[in-house]
Amino acid sequence: MTAELHGQNRRKFLANAGFAAMALAAGGCAGGRAKVGGTGAMSAFAAPPLARVRVGVVGVGSRGTYALKRLAFMPGVEIAAFCDVSEAAMKRSREFLAQKKFRPAREFLGPEAYRDLCQWDGVDVVYACVPWKLHAPVALAAMRADKHAFVEVPATMDVDSCWELVETSEATRRHCMMLENCCYGENEMLALNMCRLGVLGETVYGEAGYLHSGKTRGFKLSEFRAEWYREHRGNYYPTHGLGPVAQYMNINRGDRFDYLNSMESTSIGDLIRAGDTRWNGENLETYKKYLIGGYNSSLIRTVNGKVILLNLSCPVPHPYSRINTIQGTHGVFMDYPLRIDVEDTPGSGPHEKRDPEFNERFDRARTAAYREKYRHPLWKQVGELAKKAGGHGGMDFLMDMRWVYCLQNGLPLDMDVYDLAAWSCLCEITEKSQARRGAPVEIPDFTRGAWKTMKPLGIVTIDLAKMDFSNVGAAGPQQTIGHSKEG
């Protein structure tokens, strides 16, 4: 079957076929996609080193404001350009650069301004902080203009554009990385380090999620979110919790997602029509139109037989949590709150019978000891600087520092376009599954088999001698842990 026919049929498979039919229709090529440009063309890809990284920021309102300020103080980075649809946002960014005595950046204003920014030869990297539906168009425009693309989460909301991003990255030999900052959280990197060192044994099960009340009720919504909630169901925000767990389990690097089952609770619109008066307020008419449910829960199975529970809930009250659990054959790491327990010998550890009060003190002490012993080397190196710089407790800084360091030194990025696609495609696939009463839906293999030979992400660090951090933190207050308007 040709690549053209695969492309024509892929959406038909997802819309009309069951799991078994999809497997047959794929003709032996997972996800119904023919091989293009060889297998794993961007796996472990390293671009030529950039002595100075010239960044063009697309979208400098809200989250983009913090990104521009953070990047402006990143060693070896120049804010070369920025664009937005808002003159006020442009003015704030212009004044910030002038106040801090940075070189003036080239400015592009308007809804299509990102195209001109991408075409300008004065930038090496396009960094997109825009509404969801613009993520893929900006990234595609950047790569086609020979720029590396870095895009906010989720990178796209449907399977077809995931394939387009993969194929464009392969064809242009440009990086396309999703800015999944949670992979650089202190506890997430602690868990990754423990997994890499084999402390938990063989990983068999993980839990991930995004549970965060308040974004869909109580104040005026961002229009792009309200539009999505009116038109879709499923898990529209899977990557914050899933990305780190996928790294623990070596997804795309020794294993891959195989299929998932997804279920969702009653839609918000139906709850209101059934008489739930707690939604009364200025946004009531908008809420009545919501198709999105209060809670989505999905089970993902990997080719190697591991299982991940992935949950999403924003419209109903819940303390902030990404869940962040990884179960191994020798121990377990559970977050929110952090708890770690490892068997010293088979049968010891969490199943021992102890006095409850002693149990609590004992478990806290063990967790603290493990946290200190297995703290990720990158957090040991620059954790305090990261917290000083800010951005969700320092994770944003570490994320940007790592991709900048990799570009400057000609190294592969920690996350590639295949990670972007595998994590983001679940927006559509969870919606398809829940519409079929939780029936299994296949998850494409965007690596086209390269996952079998790719090495897992290692314990990444930096050479401090190659980056001057003397100005870090000068950008002033940054975001705190939690949600941001475009994140």
Q: What strands lie across the sheet with 53-58, from one edge to the other? A: 106-109, 77-84, 53-58, 125-128, 148-151, 176-178
**What is the structure's pLDDT at 352?**
57
pLDDT band at 284 (very low <50, low <70, confident <90, very high): confident
Which stretch of 19-23, 332-336, 351-355 has the lowest confidence by average pLDDT? 19-23
Query: Average pLDDT for residues 4-24, to the nearest whole number?
Result: 37
Backbone dihedral angles phi then psi of residue 35, each to the nearest 5 degrees: -70, 135
Q: Which residue has the higher pLDDT, 42 or 468?
A: 42
210: tokens are 């995004």
Cα-based distances in Å from 336 to 127, 340, 399: 30, 11, 22
Q: Does 133 score more than 50 pLDDT?
A: yes
0.85 exceeded by pTM: yes
Query: Average pLDDT for residues 10-18, to the nearest whole number?
Result: 38
DSSP result, 336-403: TTTEEEE-SSTT-STTS---HHHHHHHHHHHHHHHHHHT--HHHHHHHHHHHHH-SGGGHHHHHHHHH
By CB neighbour count within 10 A (0-12 exposed, 13-18 middle, 19+ buried), where does 367 fall? middle
pLDDT > 70 fraction of the chain, expressed in percent and rounded: 83
What span, in angstroms and rounded, lies between the C-alpha atoms of 331 and 340? 8
Winning range, highest mean pLDDT, from 16-20, 291-295, 320-324, 352-356: 320-324
Q: Does 346 score more than 80 pLDDT?
A: no
Neighbouring C-alpha atoms within 13 Å toward the C-beta of 94? 12
CB atoms within 10 A of CB 112: 11
Q: Kindly report, residue by residue over 440-482, the tens digit of the pLDDT.
A: 999 999 999 999 999 999 999 999 999 988 776 554 433 333 3
In this structure, which amino acid lies at residue 25? A
**What is the structure's pLDDT at 356?**
66
Q: Is 199 in contact with 174 (CB distance < 8 Å)?
A: no
**What is the structure's pLDDT at 358?**
60
Query: Average pLDDT for residues 407-435, to the nearest whole number?
Result: 98
Q: Is 156 in contact with 131 (CB distance < 8 Å)?
A: no
What span, in angstroms and rounded, lies between the C-alpha atoms of 186 and 266? 35
Beta strand segments in 179-328, E: 203-211, 257-264, 296-302, 307-313, 325-328
Buried b (16+ CB within 10 A) or exposed e, 225-236: bbbbbeebbbbb
Q: Which residue has the higher pLDDT, 87 or 357?
A: 87
Q: Kindly report, residue by residue over 190-233, the tens digit of the pLDDT.
A: 999 999 999 999 999 999 999 987 654 444 456 778 888 899 99
What span, in angstroms and rounded, lies between the C-alpha atoms of 78 and 447? 33
Query: Average pLDDT for residues 249-261, to the nearest whole number?
Result: 98
**What is the structure's pLDDT at 285?**
82
What span, in angstroms and rounded, lies between the C-alpha atoms of 446 and 49? 26
Q: Does 22 score more than 50 pLDDT?
A: no
Closest CA to 439 of 24, 30, 17: 17
Which stretch of 266-275, 329-338, 398-407, 413-422 has the lowest confidence by average pLDDT? 266-275
What span, in angstroms and rounded, lies between the C-alpha atoms of 170 and 119? 19
Query: Average pLDDT for residues 41-68, to the nearest whole number?
Result: 95
48: tokens are 């030529």
Angle at which helices 132-144 and 159-172 pack, to 10 degrees? 20
Query: Average pLDDT for residues 12-36, to the nearest whole number?
Result: 38
Closest CA to 350 of 368, 331, 337: 331
SS3 content of the chain, % helix, strand, coil (to 5): 40, 15, 45
Domain boundary assignment for the chain: 1-34, 183-388+424-452
Q: Kindly report, residue by residue over 93-122, the tens digit of the pLDDT.
A: 999 999 999 999 999 999 999 999 999 999
**What is the structure's pLDDT at 31?**
44
Range list of H helices, 81-213: 87-99, 113-119, 132-144, 159-172, 186-196
pLDDT > 90 fraction of the chain, expressed in percent and rounded: 71
193: tokens are 């380090």
**What is the structure's pLDDT at 159?**
98
**What is the structure's pLDDT at 473?**
54
Backbone dihedral angles phi then psi of residue 25, each to the nearest 5 degrees: -65, -25
Q: Is 81 in contact with 123 (CB distance < 8 Å)?
A: yes
CATH architecture for segment(s) 183-388+424-452: 2-Layer Sandwich (3.30)
What span, in angstroms and rounded, lies between the C-alpha atoms of 334 and 70? 30
Angle at which helices 395-409 and 63-72 pack, to 10 degrees? 50
